[in-house]
Amino acid sequence: MSDTFAEVKRILRSVCSEARDLRPETNLVTDLGLDSILQLDLVVRLENEFEVALELEEGQEVITIANLVAWIDRARGRVGTHA
């Protein structure tokens, strides 16, 4: 289990009361009930915690926790680079 996954789980638990048994395949909307407001809150918290800028275009592909972790890891790879 990656450090990113563990940290994402911690943050999800602070954002969502439904976040109990979190697995990589957990769906952010259907399993956790994250509406658009909670999703925005989550993104802001993740950006602050990981010190990254998450590209919103890529966020449309984020359905599961595993997708979320991959999105963050990609953004972390861009930190300090110029696109």
Q: Average pLDDT of 68-76?
A: 93
Give the mean pLDDT of 51-67: 87
Mean pLDDT computed over 68-78: 90
- Spell out the domain ranges in the chain: 3-77
Who has greater pLDDT, 9 or 57?
Answer: 9
| In contact, 15 and 45? CB cutoff 8 Å | yes
Number of other CB atoms surrounding residue 22 within 10 Å: 19
- Helix axis angle, 36-50 to 65-78, nearest 10°: 40
Candidates 1.10.1740.10, 1.10.1200.10, 3.10.580.10, 1.20.210.10; correct CATH number of 3-77?
A: 1.10.1200.10
